[in-house]
Structure 1
């Protein structure tokens, strides 16, 4: 399917692996020029090496979404490389502090919110002037099933993702008439380095292997995931790419769940 984004410029954060990397790959396939960003330049360079792009259509610049100065530097480098961007995909994030509420201290809350909520806020704020100038734009923020179906052992992450959903909805109402459409994608239990680490920790705690940890997690913690498996990053990236496209010209303020039915409500 032609998504109508050939020649568009996109910035994808959290793109050294997982969902962000797969999204960058799809946007490149559709003819966009793509800037990937994440925390570590060496990791980004390795990620870029695994992407197939014609010369001048792929750039990799490290930045820290928790630091305004770092994002300002990223903006300057992006402007120099590709000019104004048309598409922003915010995919960076962490699991953050875990445990029951009484077990999580102020630092755990603060760090999780800084990365998972204020990171998207700062990234959008930094690039919003660029996105508003073209008369056509797309912002896709990565939320989570946790934003509408919180879990007791990761309340900071759930709270941050609920905030991302509210941020998306507010932005969508502010800029739609300028041609800037804003949506969220909410995955559940995707095969990424973040969930790999979660499952390794679960396996270590239970004295099992990772496959058994995944099986028990699905049975005990995510019983409504009808397909009975982890999702793959490409399955999420497919939806993100659609929302970045001309095909989604009447979609804004929406939360697309890519969760195998994990959210129990309709």
Structure 2
């Protein structure tokens, strides 16, 4: 399959590392002009440099802004006012030990609200600006990077799971709102992935227990995601492949969908 996105401008939020970084590079390889986003200027600049080096001749720009805030989204939009493709990838999680209901009850309001602002409202605010412009052009792609945790709520990351479920509702509702316009809105649900957040957590676990990274990952899967069918962590490139396809002309009949790249963790057919 030849995915050609020449002439399209793509924004990928949270794209200095992990799934966002792999997605930005993949979109650049497909010919899109890509806008990188992150909170810090140095990391944004470095990601831009790396992608330009990896994809000679690519058009890559970067904008540093905190998309968890209204002001940050406004600053981003001021520098990149138009896009054909929007990948709402930015997000984070608080990975905690779970020893019972007491741990869930102790999650403070600031954790709940902070995750909701970043994981959910960043995508709401960004889409609120770019989606009407896509509709006017009768072509556009919006992708929310959710998680298998949206449908397989983890007790050790309850607040994270709730935000990922909210993304599915937002994605489906927006797809309904733009029905018949040539614009699609979808969600992609990765499973355990060697991304920056989970990868760093696994590396710390490996070091603390004097084991290899692979052993730490296998321990996590057996304890927390025993239903995995691939029995390993996915790579960021494997997840990005689904996102890039969803951004393409070839995916024109796919909208309002929740597309799983979870390695078979979620045990239902649909």
Q: Which residue of 1 aligns with 2:65?
A: 63
Following TM superposition, by how much is the alpha carbon of 1:257 offset from its aligned partner in structure 2, in angstroms? 0.5
Which runs of structure 2 are paired with 1:81-230 in the superposition (5 Å)?
84-96=82-94, 98=96, 99=98, 100-203=103-206, 208-230=211-233
Cα distance between partner residues in 2 of 1:74 and 1:141:
18
Cα distance between partner residues in 2 of 1:14 and 1:203:
26
Following TM superposition, by how much is the alpha carbon of 1:204 offset from its aligned partner in structure 2, in angstroms? 6.1
TM-score, normalised via structure 1 length: 0.92
- In the alignment, is residue 10 of structure 1 matched against residue 13 of structure 2? no
The answer to whether the 8 A contact 1:97-1:108 is kept is no
Cα distance between partner residues in 2 of 1:4 and 1:210:
36
Cα distance between partner residues in 2 of 1:207 and 1:31:
44
Following TM superposition, by how much is the alpha carbon of 1:208 offset from its aligned partner in structure 2, in angstroms? 4.7
Following TM superposition, by how much is the alpha carbon of 1:210 offset from its aligned partner in structure 2, in angstroms? 3.6
The answer to whether the 8 A contact 2:12-2:37 is kept is yes
* Closer/same/farther in 2, CA of residues 133 and 221 from structure 1, 3 Å limit: same
Cα distance between partner residues in 1 of 2:208 and 2:170:
36
Following TM superposition, by how much is the alpha carbon of 1:87 offset from its aligned partner in structure 2, in angstroms? 0.3
Q: Which residue of 2 aligns with 1:45?
A: 45
Q: Which runs of 5+ in 1 are unaligned?
A: none
Aligned residues: 262
User: What per-residue deviation string (whole Å, max 9, x for no partner) do you get for residues 66-116 of structure 1?
Assistant: 11122112112113xxxx211000111101363531121111211111111
TM-score, normalised via structure 2 length: 0.91
Q: Give the match's secondary structure for 2:51.
A: coil
User: What per-residue deviation string (whole Å, max 9, x for no partner) do you get for residues 121-171 of structure 1?
Assistant: 122123223323311000010000000011111100000000000000000
CA RMSD of aligned residues (A): 1.8
Q: Give the match's secondary structure for 1:227.
A: coil
Q: Which runs of 5+ in 2 are unaligned?
A: none
